[in-house]
Amino acid sequence: MVARPLSRLRLAFPRAQYVPLIVFGLGVATNAAAQSAAEIQLPAVTVTGADVEQTATGPVQGFVAKRAATATKTDTPVMETPQSISVITQDRMTLQGAQSVQQAAGYTAGVTAGAFGPDNRGDSIKIRGTDSTQYLDGLLNAVGSYNNTRPDPYALERIEILRGPSGMLYGQGAIGGIVNQISKRPQPEAMREIGVSYGNHNRKQIQADLTGPIDEDGKWLYRVVALGRDSDSSVKYVDDDRYFIAPSLTWRPSAATSLTLLANFQKDNSGSMVGFFPWRGTLTSTPAGRIPQDFFVSEPDFDKYTARQSAVGYQFEHAFNDNVTVRQNLRYTHSEVDYRSIYTAGFNGAGHGWVPGSDTLLRRVMYQNQPTLKQFVVDTQGQFKFQTGPIRHTLLTGVDYQRSVLDARQGVGGTVAPIDVHNPVYGNFTPPTSTVNAPTSRGNQLGFYMQDQLEWERWLLMLGLRHDRSRASVDDTPSGSRDDSEMSKRFGLMYRSEAGLNPYLSYSESFQGLAGFNRANQAFKPLRGKQWEAGLKYQPPGENLTVTASVFDMTEKNRKVAGVVNGIADTVQVGEARTKGAELEALASVGNVDLVATYTFLDAKVAKGTPAEQGRQLASIPRHMASFWANYRFSVLGTPGFLAGAGVRYNGSSDDGTGNNGVPAVTLYDAVLAYDAGPVRLALNVTNLFDKQYVGTCLARGDCFFGTRRTVIGSVTYRF
């Protein structure tokens, strides 16, 4: 390496345009250069994003996150976690132009995202063929149906997807895994940006992200993330407006103590983007043609989906010494939804959603629900590091509690006439005549857990055990209450090789309470899941590249199916689903190139179920999925800062779980062009580049859902 004067010391940040770097000691180096530039000769130094030390919650340069906390609740290297986990960084979300969490997850192994298309009521993310549970900053963020606003990717530092059961750390939840969304938090280095964007469907958006120290000592840090959007959507008469602000404040009185206050307010104004259209007219054509994808089946003067949410909480951490640390995370959320919709009805009747004898008139039904959710969650942890002989331990003990109260008012009465799909005339309806209180639903969970991460030479062993007591009730009546007491176990074993090749084996469990009773007044038992997983994680020493390959066998028991109880047709819990599969995921940020490559095979079948379902692939789950994304940074006529990228997503064929209503395979393409130099970033993102028209999924009850059409968004960001 050629020696250069310190005054010419060059710091190269190939991805500094996306997330600011924190380089300590730069000021010292600059002063030294001013004093002795002529006397001191030092080797040239190049600093890249990969060289900046990462944390489990902080910013990441590029696509490759080295540390995560979702799988262990401790700051653990991804390569030393004996279970499949993917981290979607803010850099990646920004570059790919993700406008929702489910869109951001579209290039992730094992994930089926957006099966219901542009459904604005929630993010649809299935993991390994079944449902997932959504968390925000490690705390539960999803209760009931459509009661929480959808987090905006711009407000998130990263999204972590833990595949498989996770009951040992989080209590009851879906067997598929965890989608943990990590909020942006105050940073010690000042960074400020403001951006505007414009896209098809009259999309107009302005956003800002401001962070840095408040005082000279850096004991007080702040961050404000805000966004406002005024937009139409791909469906006529449906808006896609959003307003949110997320302020946060960090107090660091010493290196051992940190308290971060987090708050957010968000309001979404939208409407019915899904019409629950019948398979005839979506999968297949009618004599009059297919239902237009922009067709609005509801009524402009009645329809709305307005979600308003406020949340406040904190994250506290104190290290008594290098070996003992305590943490507590807490959040209270209040959300209100006004949901009014008119959608297709009568899937099982004559004409299967269509007016009998007509190929243009759809039958409709009216729905109105106004739920209010109050949610409180808290997680308290103690972390202890010690040794027993040659074995090093990281012992985590914790207790968490969550409580939710859901009230709602529902519409009564109202009528609505059929509507002509190809020549709609609106106004033929009578709104609900009144609203009534729905039964109040309450949920409580108290859990105690203990986890030990043991290290001996190159071996890692993880052991975990948890006990939960949970209660779900409707109107606080004995007949509407259910109490559960569950134990959840987990273990993982990994060998760390010198070559960066780490094989592992793991076992995990989950449970999820089911509300209600059968006709014999027997409370439904919780869904129970378990999974065995074996895999291989590879990271070449010194390279910003990771590869994860895994095979797994996952079983879910106590599924509800149709049966007979005491000689009467009823619901029984004898159903079982079993998913065997393999996954491959590769991530790289090397030089001027970022890469994502994934492949998923899912043999997700109903092991026990109704005769129509027995032995069939689970509904809407393809056997094969694959994706590939690549982007490259380059110069034009000696001017650096240009970037071009493209991706392809493949979802194999699926059906409704009974062998009917088969959905063909689909291949979709995305692209980005950007210029990023100095304080300005210009970008053009296109999703579904060729505007492929397709059906995302069909259900056994007879309704289908269109996939997301092409979106084009141009953006300008200024940093100062």
pLDDT of 479 reads 65
Contact yes or no for 88/396 (Cβ under 8 A): no
Does position 11 have pLDDT exceeding 60, yes or no?
A: no
Cβ neighbours for 388, distance < 8 A, ≥ 6 positions apart: none
Q: Please name the amino acid found at residue 134.
A: Q
Does position 574 have pLDDT exceeding 50, yes or no?
A: yes
Round to whole Å and give the CA distance between 360 and 200. Answer: 29
Residue 631's nearest CA partner among 197, 85, 63 is 63
User: Among the listed ranges 3-7, 356-360, 651-655, 669-673, which one has the minimum average pLDDT value?
Assistant: 3-7
Segment 445-459 shows an average pLDDT of 97
pLDDT of 350 reads 59
Q: Please name the amino acid found at residue 361.
A: L
Exposed/middle/buried for residue 359 (C-beta within 10 Å: 0-12, 13-18, 19+): middle
pLDDT of 8 reads 30
Round to whole Å and give the CA distance between 607 and 529. Answer: 13
Residue ranges of E strands in 289-440: 304-319, 324-344, 361-362, 364-388, 391-412, 415-416, 419-420, 429-430, 434-437
Does position 474 have pLDDT exceeding 80, yes or no?
A: yes
pLDDT of 349 reads 59
Per-residue pLDDT reduced to its tens digit, 297-346: 999 999 999 999 999 999 999 999 999 999 999 999 999 999 999 999 88
pLDDT of 148 reads 82
Does position 568 have pLDDT exceeding 90, yes or no?
A: no
Round to whole Å and give the CA distance between 711 and 708. Answer: 8
pLDDT of 565 reads 65
Going by the DSSP 8-state scheme, the letter that residue 290 receives in this structure is P
Residue 153's nearest CA partner among 96, 109, 232, 107 is 96
Does position 207 have pLDDT exceeding 90, yes or no?
A: yes
Per-residue pLDDT reduced to its tens digit, 382-425: 999 999 999 999 999 999 999 999 999 999 999 999 999 999 99
Residue 443, CA distances (Å) to 165, 386, 401 in order: 21, 37, 11
DSSP 237-277: T-B-EEEEEEEEEEEEEETTEEEEEEEEEEEEEE------E
Does position 30 have pLDDT exceeding 70, yes or no?
A: no
Per-residue pLDDT reduced to its tens digit, 519-561: 777 778 889 999 999 999 999 998 999 999 999 999 999 887 7
Per-residue pLDDT reduced to its tens digit, 40-81: 444 444 444 444 588 999 999 999 999 999 999 999 999 999
pLDDT of 293 reads 94
The angle at the Cα of 492, spanning 486 to 497, to the nearest 5 degrees, equals: 170
